[in-house]
Amino acid sequence: MLDIKPGDALDNERVVRLTEQSGAVLDVIVGPRNMTDLLDFKSLNPNLRTLALVPGPEFDPPDATAIEEFAGAGADIIRLWPSWIFTDRDHDQGAGRSPLIERLHDLGKPVWTTADTLYKDIDPDHPREDLSELIRLGVNGIITDVPDLTRELLLSLAARPA
């Protein structure tokens, strides 16, 4: 996963060429933070997977227009902040659904999120509850600093009878 941060030193073509030369096009996910970079990566190599790191303040409401724009422009995966997901869902934890996740799934887009206790993407005092809720609401990928807990939760869910 390459977190692409805009700046004078960024050379999208070089990133793509190095990925191609390494034979890693199918193993790398590029994470652009703006539409220009997303479109640039897609034009340089349409086989390179992209994770749209949709911009916006983490703890403000999500910008639905920006999310739709990234999805419509061909981002393969959409990253949403946990707070956006929690704000969007029905208000009782453990109940309801996330219309935002459902909309992206309807568009054929997997949804990834972060779940970092250090930066407080999720509650450091209750990471199990927040991770469980993100999984229950349908996120497809989690970038986290608590991988063992995430794995434990996913394995316990897989072991439950249907």
Q: Where are the alpha helices (DSSP H) in the chain?
A: 12-21, 35-44, 64-72, 82-88, 99-106, 127-137, 147-159
User: Which pLDDT score is estimated for 160?
Assistant: 79
User: Which pLDDT score is estimated for 162?
Assistant: 63
The stretches in the chain having pLDDT less than 50 are: none
Q: How are beta strands 111-115 and 49-53 bridged, if at all?
A: unpaired
Q: Could you read off the pLDDT of 28-75 as tens digits, one per residue?
A: 999 999 999 999 999 999 999 999 999 988 888 889 999 999 999 999
User: Which pLDDT score is estimated for 58?
Assistant: 86
Position 143: which residue type? I
Homologous superfamily (CATH) of 2-159 is Phosphatidylinositol (PI) phosphodiesterase (3.20.20.190)
User: Which pLDDT score is estimated for 94?
Assistant: 58
Residue with tokens 């030369």: 21
d(CA 11, CA 66): 24
User: Which pLDDT score is estimated for 91?
Assistant: 63
The residues facing 2 across adjacent strands are 30
- Give the residue extent of every domain in the chain: 2-159
Across all residues in the chain, what is the average pLDDT?
Answer: 92
